[in-house]
Amino acid sequence: MGSRSVTLSADLESRPASRRSSGPDRDAICALLAGLAPEYLVDLKLQVESRNAGTELFNPREPGDSVHILMEGWACRDRPFGDGDRQITAFMLPGDLASCWTPIESPFDHRVRTLTPCRVMVASRARLADLARRNSVIATRLRRAMRTDVSILNDWLVNVGRRQAPERIAHLLCELNHRLEIARSNLHSGDRLIPLTQQDIADALGMTSVHVNRVVQKLRANQLLEIRKGSVILRDPQGLAQLCAFDSAYLGLLI
């Protein structure tokens, strides 16, 4: 990676989003469904919806009869608390399933909120599950998505439980930077934007925003990264990776 700079910005609010629905653009089909014959795509009854930042993709208290796949933008899974706090348990990038895959329609134990304006592909959960039973390629891709979700969650537990604050922040940013490279390759996207505020980082890592800010100042002093105006700038990605001993092997099953 060398010493190249990577800009991770939250400045996506200028991109308007509404709740329009349309059929999917064949050029924008996600990696999960890439290469499927047209008749399979028609059978899934795919729709593409646009969502504004800060909205819930679905009601977690209702049966999950739809599958949401991010095409553009960023979202997060979180667990809200009555006092207004929340714990972020995952970040979703373009190409990701918005919720953990299960063929069963049932309420979820988490919500999914958009961090930026998003385009979301929506498919019938029952039809996708039926397709997976008939198509071994789709079944394998869904199993990989499930296993990668578990691998990332396990590494997050290690990150929060065993790493010190500087390594904790560095590891999260290295992971997202690596996943972004994969997402850009799969979707042929030029975006290098990761919309993380200091509060988002705090909510994902079990820290306070004040503590995050204090650590960021130390990392900035070492010319590793910056956070300014809602943006994170990785000045030295390789240095960050060395700081936290980042090993991307657990991300090897990403679609």
Kindly report the number of other CB atoms within 10 A of residue 254's CB atom. Answer: 20
Domain boundary among 130, 147, 164: 147
Spatial distance between the Cα atoms of 199 and 194, rounded to a whole number of angstroms = 14
pLDDT at residue number 172: 96
pLDDT of res. 158:
94
Q: Is residue 181 part of a domain?
A: yes
Domain count, the chain: 2
* Sign of the CA dihedral running 17, 28, 74, 63: positive
Whether residue 15 is contained in a domain is answered as no
Do 127 and 213 belong to one domain?
no
Query: Is the CB of residue 118 less than 8 Å from the CB of residue 70?
Result: yes
| DSSP label at residue 115 | S
Residues 131 and 172 reside in one and the same domain: no
Give the chain's residues under pLDDT 50: 1-18, 20, 26-27, 188-191
Question: In which domain, by residue range, is 198 found?
Answer: 6-10+150-251
Q: In what order do the strands lie in the sheet with 47-51?
A: 21-22, 47-51, 118-124, 66-72
Determine the pLDDT at residue 255.
54
Asked whether residue 125 falls in the same domain as residue 199, the answer is: no
**27 in the same domain as 112:** yes
For 228, residues 6+ apart whose C-beta sits below 8 A from its C-beta are none
Q: How far apart are CA 129 and CA 174, in angstroms?
A: 33
Final residue of a domain: which of 132, 147, 162?
A: 147
Residues 176 and 142 in one domain: no
Q: Which stretches within the chain are classed as H helix?
A: 38-43, 125-134, 136-162, 165-187, 198-205, 209-221, 237-244
Q: What is the pLDDT of residue 43?
A: 83
- Which pLDDT score is estimated for 189? 46
Here the CATH number for the domain that contains residue 203 is 1.10.10.10
Q: Which residues 6+ apart lie within 8 Å of 176 measured at CB?
A: 8, 91, 93, 194, 196
Q: Do 157 and 212 share a structural domain?
A: yes
Q: What was the pLDDT predicted at 39?
A: 82
> In which region does residue 35 sit, left (phi positive, over 0), alpha (psi from -120 to 50) or beta (all else)?
left
pLDDT of residue 53: 92
My answer on whether 41 and 126 are in the same domain is yes
59: buried, middle or exposed (CB in 10 Å: 19+, 13-18, 0-12)?
A: exposed
